[in-house]
Amino acid sequence: MNFTLTGLSNYEGIKGPLLLIILDGMGLYRGEKDGYPGNAIDIAAPRNLYRLIKDEKITTRLKAHGTAVGMPSDRDQGNSEVGHNAMGAGRIFAQGAKLVEDAIESGSIFEGKTWKKIISRSLAAKTPVHFIGLISDGNVHSNIAHLISLIGQCDREGVEEVYVHGLLDGRDVPPLSALRYFGELEDYLWSLRAHAVETGEKRLYLIASGGGRMVTTMDRYEADWAIVERGYNAHVLGIGPKFPDSLTAIRKLRSKEIVDDQYLSHWVIHAPDNPDKPLAQIRDGDGVILFNFRGDRAIEISRALVEDDFKGFRRDRRPDVSYAGILEYDADTKMPPEYLVAPPAIDRTLSEYLAENGVSQYAISETQKFGHVTYFWNGNNSSMFNKKIEKWVKIESDRVPFDRAPEMKADEIASQTISAMQSGMYRFLRLNFPNGDMVGHTGSLPAAVKAVGAVDRAVGRLIEAMDRLGGTVIITADHGNCEQMTAVDEKTGRPVMGAGGEYKPQTSHSLNPVPFIIHGPDTGRYELARIPDPGLGNIASTILLLLGYQRPDDYLEPIIRVQ
């Protein structure tokens, strides 16, 4: 494969280094601004960011959700994974939700060897099939519609026992919406059981365990293995507070803990005739399917269920199961080894082109977003393309709730990036400030305001340092979040009031565009290209232009052109 980049005929490229700053979760609110109380960015009034938006010649908005990042429709939020995929690939690939949706609609998911293996083993041995995943329609990590389709196919193929180990969302959907989603699932499972009674078949289809996503099962980047251990013990061993059904568990834990769904403690459903005995455990011979399609928070529980030399925590029992993810979550480590739908083949990413052409690169973030500027940026590839001229730096995130330390590691990321810039070793540098996303997800507006302030101070330091070096800075974001911290009525566009007379918080990503700014000594030569609806996928070719290269033929157009 030819990775040779051709130089531009009318522009040699910038003289100094090029830095890409990704303001994770910091979009541009596009609703009715008058009286809107939830824009953490406007409240923080970030001096450096606002000055750049006001004064720079090259400043625009990019689409960062829906079809612009490979999601099924423009009603779907973007997320950090697909956003970084699009930025790093220069093209748009069908992503998790759409891949699964297409496979279910075509029926190909049920014709694959992995599905057939799990179902045939269950039918032959009369063992249960277990489903683990997030119960919501947020379409960021999972979609309840996918789960219902999978369970429905189990019913059609004659599987007698199905158990769901459901995780509460409250992050990509309203913070207190679990009863709606679990109620829908309970009703569906009841309908299958009732129909089986009429036909004389056996259908023991039930919810068996659960817990809030931020404290049960869904850790990422090895930030806190206790989260995975808690979920493993609940799902596999049936260890945890026991309740007669999922709706009772949610109600009783809510009244006791007074937290959003995402932080609700883990729980286990007990057997009908014994309140001390779990309804179901995952045992030898069972089938297990993780139906989350997003990879970052699916890898660790997958490892706990399949790895022989697992060291994340002590497993009191490791069952011999047929395990599959709905997708392959990490192509480099082949995790999990078996999956239901093949991932998009993202090849010829920007980093690979640059590495093949001798362009040195530097990537940095803290634990929570390190994988985004490396693995996802590289097209779901966790290896460097040329270790001699690339460097990746991960700064350990604090293990405290993000609203308690909203500054996170912004200052340290800036300091280390400035040192890398000043070293003269790197032509292209990229970084991610996670604050806007991670703090935005907590629903705390005051904390999000502090997070924006911390990021803005770090941006100011980076701009000042780059100006001394004569280099260029691009500022953008992967999706919106903290600019829309208060829920908005879809019909009226007005903020929604909660039952207590306070504004209803929004913890999910937004559908807002994100900023795109270029700051540097050559900006007088640039003008915005006439692209109808530019998005994150146009960034890669823009970076190539700034470095003096033509884009590959199938890359999306650059956002600017040189005069």
Q: Residue-wise over 484-510: b if at least 16 C-beta within 10 A, else e?
A: bbbbbeeeeeebbeeeeeebbbbbbbb
> Which residues, including other chains, have CB under 8 Å from residue 55's CB and lie 6 or more apart?
none
The answer to whether residue 33 scores a pLDDT higher than 70 is: no
Which residue carries 């947020």 as its tokens?
138
H/E segment holding residue 446: helix 445-469
Model pLDDT for residues 519-557, shown as the tens digit of each residue: 999 999 999 999 999 999 999 999 999 999 999 999 999
Model pLDDT for residues 38-74, shown as the tens digit of each residue: 999 999 999 999 999 999 999 999 999 999 999 888 8
User: What pLDDT is recorded for position 343?
Assistant: 73
Distance CA 254, CA 259 (A): 7
Confidence of residue 76 (pLDDT cuts 50, 70, 90): confident
**CA-based torsion, 424, 429, 433, 434: positive or negative:** negative
User: What pLDDT is recorded for position 332?
Assistant: 60
User: Beta strands 204-212 and 242-243: pairing type?
Assistant: unpaired
Lowest mean pLDDT among 89-93, 326-330, 359-363, 394-398: 326-330
* φ, ψ for residue 412, nearest 5 deg: -70, -40
Higher pLDDT, 185 or 294: 185
Distance CA 94, CA 269 (A): 37
Higher pLDDT, 223 or 256: 256
* φ, ψ for residue 113, nearest 5 deg: -65, -30
**CA-based torsion, 310, 316, 320, 321: positive or negative:** negative
Report which of 453, 475, 461, 454 is spatially closest to residue 520, judged by C-alpha positions: 475
Asked if residue 169 lies in contact with residue 213, where contact means CB atoms within 8 angstroms, the answer is yes
The answer to whether residue 32 scores a pLDDT higher than 70 is: no
Three-state secondary-structure class, residue 278: strand
Rounded mean pLDDT, 212-224: 92
Mean residue pLDDT across the chain:
95
Which residue carries 């748009």 as its tokens?
92
- Eight-state DSSP code of residue 408: T
Q: What pTM value is reported for the model?
A: 0.76
Distance CA 52, CA 503 (A): 31
Would you name the residues annotated as active-site residues? 80
H/E segment holding residue 60: strand 58-62
User: What pLDDT is recorded for position 94?
Assistant: 87
Tell me the sheet residues that pair with 162. 129, 205
> Residue 260 is which amino acid?
D
User: What pLDDT is recorded for position 333?
Assistant: 77
Which residue carries 């403690």 as its tokens?
265
Distance CA 119, CA 243 (A): 29
Three-state secondary-structure class, residue 43: helix
> Which CA distances in Å does 395 have to 223, 225, 420?
12, 18, 14
Asked if residue 349 lies in contact with residue 84, where contact means CB atoms within 8 angstroms, the answer is no
Model pLDDT for residues 303-352, shown as the tens digit of each residue: 999 999 999 999 999 999 999 999 988 766 789 999 999 877 799 999 99
Report which of 297, 364, 353 is spatially closest to residue 89, judged by C-alpha positions: 353
The answer to whether residue 482 scores a pLDDT higher than 80 is: yes
C-alpha of 275 from chain center = 37
Rounded mean pLDDT, 171-192: 97
Locate 306 and state its tokens: 């399949």
- Eight-state DSSP code of residue 332: T
Report which of 480, 546, 524 is spatially closest to residue 56, judged by C-alpha positions: 524
Distance CA 81, CA 307 (A): 25
CATH class of 97-341: alpha beta
User: What pLDDT is recorded for position 331?
Assistant: 63
Three-state secondary-structure class, residue 56: coil
Report which of 466, 367, 473 is spatially closest to residue 430, judged by C-alpha positions: 473
User: What pLDDT is recorded for position 30?
Assistant: 83
| Domains of the chain, residue spans | 18-94+346-562, 97-341
Asked if residue 65 lies in contact with residue 511, where contact means CB atoms within 8 angstroms, the answer is yes
Locate 261 and state its tokens: 């769904």
Higher pLDDT, 79 or 302: 302
Model pLDDT for residues 488-528, shown as the tens digit of each residue: 887 788 898 877 788 988 888 899 999 999 999 999 999 99
Tell me the sheet residues that pair with 526. 562
Q: Which fold has domain 18-94+346-562?
A: Alkaline Phosphatase, subunit A (3.40.720)
Locate 423 and state its tokens: 């070293």
- Taking each helix axis from N to C terminus, what angle separates 225-232 and 299-306, rounded to the nearest 10 degrees? 60
Distance CA 35, CA 45 (A): 16
Tell me the sheet residues that pair with 134. 167
Could you give the percent of the chain with pLDDT greater than 90? 87
The answer to whether residue 154 scores a pLDDT higher than 80 is: yes
Asked if residue 465 lies in contact with residue 16, where contact means CB atoms within 8 angstroms, the answer is no
User: What pLDDT is recorded for position 559?
Assistant: 98
